[in-house]
Structure 1
Amino acid sequence: MSGAAGRRAALVLAGTGAFWVIAVFAGNALGLPQRWRGLFDLMALAGFVMGLWMTYQTWRARRDDER
């Protein structure tokens, strides 16, 4: 169970990173206003926080399984 949760957290973090890089390049190439670029940054921040939360919960579940 915790192995699948760890893989899911890794996918969320990697996907968020890829989204953020693509959004930065697209924002520069398309000349998007700062308001849109800021929105993409906030979305990426939310994705990273969610991935870290998932990682923490996986770590906690593994620690509790050892007891």
Structure 2
Amino acid sequence: MAESEAHLARQGRIAALVIAWSMLIWLAAQWVGPRLGLPGRYALLIDFAALAALFWALVVTFQIWRKRQQTTR
């Protein structure tokens, strides 16, 4: 039981780090991009990468939630 809780906690920390880092990188890219004169298509590419990271974190968080519901029943 403790091992599965530790595994879920580790997954939660990884999901939280992915959310935090993807937002920090996205914000930095939005700030740096125009200053470097990058075309808008690169901003779109960065937006899609951030969305993919956030979607992955959402899926992992949902899986954690479901596993915790199953263990409490």
Return the TM-score normalized by structure 1.
0.92
Map of 2:35 onto structure 1? 29
The runs of 4+ residues in structure 1 deviating greater than 6 Å are: none
Deviations 1:15-46 (A, max 9, x none): 11111101111112111101111101111111
> For residues 54 and 23 of structure 1, what CA distance do their matches in structure 2 show?
25
Aligned to 2:45: 39
Please list every run of 5 or more consecutive structure 2 residues that lacks an aligned counterpart in the other structure.
Answer: 1-6
Q: Output the CA distance in 1 between the equivalents of 2:23 and 2:60.
A: 16
Q: TM-score normalised to the size of structure 2?
A: 0.85
Tell me if 1:65 matches 2:65: no
Cα distance in 2, alignment partners of residues 28 and 63 from structure 1? 45
Structure 1 residues not aligned, in runs of 5+: none
Provide the identity percentage: 40
1:56 equivalenced with 2:71 (yes/no): no
Higher relative contact order (CA 8 A, sep 6+): 1
CA distance in 2, matches of 1:3, 1:24: 32
